[in-house]
Chain A
Amino acid sequence: EAQVTQNPRYLITVTGKKLTVTCSQNMNHEYMSWYRQDPGLGLRQIYYSMNVEVTDKGDVPEGYKVSRKEKRNFPLILESPSPNQTSLYFCASSTGQGFTEAFFGQGTRLTVV
């Protein structure tokens, strides 16, 4: 079954404690990206990756890092989380061949206190 898997689904952490949200896809997709969803703002892109070792900033990259060492994995790293990063996060992947369907993970609800 084609899927994008995120972990954890729910996370409560304290300000400043580094965390990583994992994302893995089983479709051999080249393109992966991270979005955050906030009430009244829809989804906004944080970072994206066009292939292994190729990453770049999206619209709201401040406070986040990513890496793409393997094609299937695209972890999101928060080095020093702050309360304004409390949000619902989604990982997505697509073929990278242009305007094909993006597959989304189940989401990670992060609360930073």
Chain B
Amino acid sequence: AQSVTQLGSHVSVSEGALVLLRCNYSSSVPPYLFWYVQYPNQGLQLLLKYTTGATLVKGINGFEAEFKKSETSFHLTKPSAHMSDAAEYFCAVSSINFGNEKLTFGTGTRLTIIP
């Protein structure tokens, strides 16, 4: 079974400050990891993903995440927060089980940007 833990259901940072959203996973097989963003009244949009290869992954809107196998972590960072980053962020791990490409999501982190 796979699981995802997102530490902090709400995170507030000042505009221009570092954004750090934490994600730890549990997986019995090599994981495939994703970060999705959800803006108000919208669906989920892929920010970035890790499948294989380079452990530092860059995504859209200046976000990046680093896969650390020893720590079972996939934390999301952005050097300088912008007001438009205010949204809810979901970390997810994927598996293929008899053809089911299920995404197992964390409970989400709501990011607030303070002007």
Closest Cβ–Cβ distance, residue B46 to chain A (whole Å): 5
| Total interface residues in chain A, CB < 8 Å | 27
Q: Which residue of B lies closest to A105 (CB)?
A: B43
Any chain B CB within 8 A of the CB of A111? no
B101 and A104 contacting across the interface, CB-CB below 8 Å: no
Given A4-B43, A106-B43, A43 and B105 touching (CB < 8 A)?
yes
Q: Which residue of B lies closest to A102 (CB)?
A: B103
| Total interface residues in chain B, CB < 8 Å | 24
Given A43-B90, A106-B42, A50 and B102 touching (CB < 8 A)?
no
- The interface residues of chain B, by DSSP majority, are classed as strand
A94 and B101 contacting across the interface, CB-CB below 8 Å: yes
User: B51: which A residues are within 8 A, CB to CB?
Assistant: 99
A33 CA to B32 CA, complexed, in Å: 18
Q: Which residue of B lies closest to A50 (CB)?
A: B99
Closest Cβ–Cβ distance, residue A60 to chain B (whole Å): 12
B100 and A56 contacting across the interface, CB-CB below 8 Å: yes
Q: List 14 A-B contacts (CB under 8 A).
A: A40-B9, A42-B90, A42-B107, A43-B105, A44-B105, A58-B102, A98-B101, A102-B46, A102-B101, A104-B36, A104-B45, A106-B41, A106-B43, A107-B42
> Which A residues are closer than 8 A to B by beta carbons?
4, 31, 33, 35, 40-45, 48, 50, 56, 58-59, 90, 92, 94, 96, 98-99, 101-102, 104-107
